[in-house]
Amino acid sequence: MELKVKKLPNAEGLPVPTYESEYAAGLDIRAAVDESVTINPGERVMIPTGLAIALPAGFEAQIRPRSGLAIREGITMLNSPGTIDADYRGEVKLIVINHGQEKVVISRGDRVAQMVIAPVVQATITEVDELSDTSRGAGGFGSTGAN
């Protein structure tokens, strides 16, 4: 499948997203900030990427945290995975939160998130009065692992 990527003016000089290994599932996404952004513990910020994308119908782009930043710095994405719909043409922005103990600085060009392209199925909705029974029923929130 083809992913069309448009670099916006704030991405000038930055590379387009890339797979950083042969079998990587996610494309690394970089920060297109003009000046470094300091994120204090517990703080959330919106980081621009300078990218707009065009996905074919039947696909979404999922924005996910990078595991290295998560373990080393406590940086993750809120609304994770974030969904970019096939009909969205605006700038991809990252909702970043610092769950760590120290301030974290995001600089221009830093790889901050990853983008996974995934197929999407749209359901046909049928309203019903009753649902079929299962052995689990309405049990949830850890009910299958409770002793």
Asked if the model's pLDDT at residue 115 lies above 90, the reply is yes
Q: Quote the pLDDT of residue 138.
A: 85
The pLDDT-based confidence of 140 (bands split at 50, 70, 90) is confident
Asked if the model's pLDDT at residue 146 lies above 60, the reply is no
Dihedral in degrees, nearest 10, Cα atoms 6, 117, 64, 33 = -10
User: What φ, ψ does residue 67 adopt, rounded to 5°?
Assistant: -60, -35
Does a structural domain hold residue 104? yes
Does a structural domain hold residue 125? no
Does a structural domain hold residue 107? yes
- For residues 80 and 110, the model is more confident at 110
- What sign has the CA pseudo-torsion 30, 28, 83, 59? positive
- What would the two tokens of residue 79 be? 């609304």
Q: State the chain's maximal CA–CA distance in angstroms.
A: 57
Mean of per-residue pLDDT scores for the chain: 95
pLDDT tens sequence across 19-55: 999 999 999 999 999 999 999 999 999 999 999 999 9
Eight-state DSSP code of residue 115: E
> With contact defined as beta carbons under 8 Å apart, do 97 and 21 qualify?
no
Does a structural domain hold residue 20? yes
Number of domains in the chain: 1
> With contact defined as beta carbons under 8 Å apart, do 76 and 65 qualify?
yes
Does a structural domain hold residue 145? no
The count of C-alpha atoms lying within 13 angstroms of the C-alpha of 70, restricted to the half-sphere facing its C-beta, is 10
Asked if the model's pLDDT at residue 125 lies above 80, the reply is yes
Does a structural domain hold residue 23? yes
Any idea which of 6-10, 12-16, 31-35, 143-147 has the lowest mean pLDDT? 143-147
Host domain of residue 98? 4-119
> With contact defined as beta carbons under 8 Å apart, do 111 and 33 qualify?
no
Does a structural domain hold residue 138? no
Does a structural domain hold residue 27? yes
- What would the two tokens of residue 129 be? 């009065």
Q: Quote the pLDDT of residue 147.
A: 56
The average pLDDT across 70-80 equals 93
CATH label of the domain that carries residue 59: 2.70.40.10
> With contact defined as beta carbons under 8 Å apart, do 82 and 32 qualify?
no
Q: Quote the pLDDT of residue 58.
A: 97
